[in-house]
Structure formats: C-alpha cells, structure tokens
Structure 1
Amino acid sequence: MRYIAEKYRSQGTELLGKTIEERGLVEQWVEVEASSFHPWAYNLAIHVLFASLIGITPDPKVIEESEANLKKVLDIYEERLSKCKYLAGDFFSLADISHLPFIDYVVNNMGREYLIKDRKNVSAWWDDISNRPSWKKVLELYQAPI
C-alpha cells in the first residue's frame, strides 16, 4: 500500500501527507489499524462470514470477544474523529483506506452496522470514505463476474 502510494504520489490524491508531521500521523494510524483494529475485525469476519467456507465452526466466544474489543477501538476512533475529519487529520489518507475492506464487511455483510452507525463521528467518516468514487469502483470490480 505504501509502495503504491509513494510510486504514484504525483497522481491523484496525496495519501501519505504533505509534511513530515502529516506523514507521521498517517503512519501512526495505519499502524493502529494493523495492530488494534484489523485483528478483531478479521476474527469477526472469519467466524461470522467465512467459517463454513474454510471449514471451521464459528466460535461464539471469539465472536463476542472480537466484537467487544472492536467496540473499544471504535470508541477511540470516535474520540479522534470528533477532532478531525479523517484519522490522520483533515485529509484523506492511507490510514482511512486501510480500514475500508473490513468496515465494509462489518457494515454490509455481517449485520453489525451498529458498530459504525451508533458512533456519530465514525459513522460520518465511514459515509464519507465509503462513498468515494474510487472505493465504489473497487466494490464494482470485486462483485463483477470473472
């Protein structure tokens, strides 16, 4: 993700930040996604959406624990997004992009949209980033028959 953003930096939206300070915030929030958001969203997706496809039995304890921990992370996001439009500041970045796939699963496939929609600022952020033409194109390509 970082490689592509750097390689094509002069095309389209600046995703890495325009200053060293902005870049630091982008990196910080990309890391938050990887270490604090992704593990819980991933476990939830595996046990709610994909268990039968990969031959495991959904574990209610894992689902409950993942959802509880995801709520804690989203509460932190709610606080952050009360201060700025996007995670790394008032600019759309890789930090926001990194959340799109799993939040899409949470909202549109797992029946747990309340995790996002019950948080005013997280919900507004999600509505903004998920309605970007580039994300709509990704979803269109993902759903297209091969």
Structure 2
Amino acid sequence: MRWKPLSGGREITMNSLDQLFSAAMAARANAYAPYSGFAVGASLRTRSGAVFSGANVENASYPVGTCAEASAISAMALAGERLIFEILIVADGEALVTPCGACRQRIREFAAADAKIHVAGLDGLRASFTLDQLLPYAFGPSVGKVSP
C-alpha cells in the first residue's frame, strides 16, 4: 500500500508503517501505567528518516503523567531533530486511540498540517489521518513566525 507523498516528498509505504508499528509496540512494552493499566506506545519518523519512540508514564498525581506522543517528541528534540513526518500510536482496546488535544498541539509544533498520524491496535494499523484532520485551524508555530 502506498500513500500520497507529503510536502517533504517522502512516500509512506507499508514497510515504513511496519517499522513504526514495531517500534511503538516495543515502546508500549515499557510503558509505566500502574494506575490506569492503559499502556500506550508511540513512534515517529522525522523528515530525515530517523525514528524516535516513547511510552506513557503515569504518576500518582495524574496531571503530571506523560503521554507516549510527548515522550517520543521529547526524544526527537533531544536528538536535535525538529520535523515530524509521521507518527504512529498503538494501544489496546476496541476504540481508536487518537492523540489527546494536548498531544495534537505538541505534534503541531513540529509537524506540518499534512503530517500523517496513524493509530493502531495490538492487531495492527486501524486508521490514518492528517494532522489537519485531527486539529483543524490549529494554532501553530507560523502564528509566531516560527517555522518547524
């Protein structure tokens, strides 16, 4: 399966999604979710092709927990990368697990409106969206004249 090339000219293939899925599953295995039992893994690919992963980390003080997407974005930023090409989130359950509102905004800080967001269950890919579909009319870096 092939996806339409995004503005960066890279093409998404099932092989690249398999790589992201495997990385997100590995990250999910290290999630720290003792309170909810809801483990989430995320893996993103930058425009340079590098892959970064993260898992959710809960805390007894619920608001200070970290989402898997935020964890992956932090790993990316720590490595000096700044442009997200695509991200895949994996979690167990019947419903689609899309990024929360805060993570959609975090992704927007480092991704163009046409960046792909893939959501998967333990059985594999379930759906794909563009960031603009999940966060239309986003308040992003361009408002402050910053280019990701």
Question: TM-score w.r.t. structure 1 length?
Answer: 0.34
Higher relative helix content:
1
Work out which of the two has the higher radius of gyration on C-alpha atoms and give 1 or 2: 1
Higher relative strand content:
2
Higher relative contact order (CA 8 A, sep 6+): 1
Question: TM-score w.r.t. structure 2 length?
Answer: 0.34
